[in-house]
Amino acid sequence: MINPVRENLRINKLVKEQKEIIFVEGDMIVPDSKPDILNTICTSGVVSIYKKEVQDEKIRLDGCINTYIMYMPDGTEDTVRGLNTTLDFSENINMSDCREGMNVITDVKTKSIECKVLNGRKVSVKATLEVNLKIYSNDEVEIINEIQDADNLQMLKENLKVNSLVGQGETKIYAKDNISIENIDNLAEILKVEANIVDKDIKISYNKVLAKSEFEVKILYLTEDNRICTVKMKIPVVGFIDIQDVVEGNICDVNYEIRNIIIKPNSQEEHSIYVEAEIGVKCDVYEEKEINLIQDMYSPCVNLDFDKKQISTMVDKTNVKDIKQIREKINLKDIENQNLIDVLVDTSIVNENKINTKILYECEMNLKFMFVNGKQQVIIKDAKIPFEYTIDNLQNGETLNTSSNIEMKSSDFIIQDGGDVTCNIDMETDTNMYRNANINIIDSIEENSEREEQDYSIILYIVKKGDSLWKIAKQFGSTVDAIARVNGIEDRNLIYTGQKLYIPNYVRTSVNSYE
Q: What is the pLDDT of residues 211-231, one digit of tens each?
A: 999 999 999 999 999 899 999
Chain centroid to Cα 427, Å, comes to 17
Q: pTM score, two decimals?
A: 0.85
Residue type present at position 112 = S
pLDDT confidence of residue 308: 86
> Which of 156, 150, 157, 155 shows the shortest CA–CA distance to 512?
150
β-sheet bridge partners, residue 317: none
Burial 483-509 (b: 16+ CB within 10 A, else e): bbeeeebeeeeebeeeeebebbbbeee
Phi/psi at 485 (5° precision): -70, -45
Assigned CATH class of 454-515? alpha beta
| Helical (H) or strand (E) element with 178 | strand 154-180
Chain centroid to Cα 513, Å, comes to 55
Residue type present at position 261 = I
pLDDT confidence of residue 442: 86
First CA to last CA across the chain, in angstroms?
23
> Which of 470, 476, 468 shows the shortest CA–CA distance to 505?
476
**pLDDT means per 10 residues in the chain (515 residues)?**
82 91 95 93 94 95 96 86 95 94 93 93 95 92 80 84 94 96 94 94 92 96 92 96 93 94 94 97 94 86 84 91 95 87 92 92 95 87 95 88 91 90 95 90 78 69 94 90 93 93 70 35
Instruction: Break the chain into its structural domains and give their ranges.
Output: 11-137, 153-298, 299-451, 454-515
Q: How far apart are CA 511 and CA 59, in angstroms?
A: 63
Angle at 360 between CA 355 and CA 362, to 5 degrees: 140
CA separation (Å) from 68 to 62, 90, 193, 345?
20, 20, 7, 17
Give the CA radius of gyration of the chain.
Answer: 32
β-sheet bridge partners, residue 388: 362
DSSP string, 424-447: EEEEEEEEEEEEEEEEEEEEEEEE
pLDDT confidence of residue 213: 96
pLDDT confidence of residue 158: 87
Other C-beta atoms lying within 10 Å of the C-beta of residue 176: 12
Strands (E), 332-473: 339-355, 358-372, 378-391, 401-415, 420-450, 458-462
What lies within 8 Å, CB to CB, of 428 at 6+ separation is 321, 322, 323, 324, 406, 407, 408, 409
> Which of 174, 181, 131, 182 shows the shortest CA–CA distance to 262?
174
> Which of 422, 437, 309 shows the shortest CA–CA distance to 369?
422
Angle at 147 between CA 145 and CA 150, to 5 degrees: 150
Q: How far apart are CA 398 and CA 356, in angstroms?
A: 5
246 and 208 in contact (C-beta within 8 Å)? yes
Dihedral angle over CA of 199, 204, 205, 206, nearest 10: 140
pLDDT confidence of residue 509: 44
Residue type present at position 196 = N
> Which of 403, 393, 404, 314 shows the shortest CA–CA distance to 355?
393
Phi-psi bin for 271: left (phi > 0), alpha (psi -120 to 50), beta? left
Query: What single-letter DSSP state applies at residue 478?
Result: -
380 and 369 in contact (C-beta within 8 Å)? yes
Q: Where are the alpha helices (DSSP H) in 114-214?
A: none
281 and 169 in contact (C-beta within 8 Å)? no
Phi/psi at 332 (5° precision): -115, 120
Q: Where are the alpha helices (DSSP H) in 101-247?
A: none
Q: What is the pLDDT of residues 367-416, one digit of tens each?
A: 999 999 888 889 999 999 999 999 998 888 888 999 999 999 999 999 98
CA separation (Å) from 372 to 136, 148, 239, 331?
48, 80, 40, 17
pLDDT confidence of residue 309: 87
Q: How many CA atoms lie within 13 A of 164 on its CB side?
A: 17
Residue type present at position 475 = Q
190: three-class secondary structure by DSSP: strand
What lies within 8 Å, CB to CB, of 359 at 6+ separation is 352, 353, 390, 391, 394, 397, 400, 402, 431
pLDDT confidence of residue 80: 92
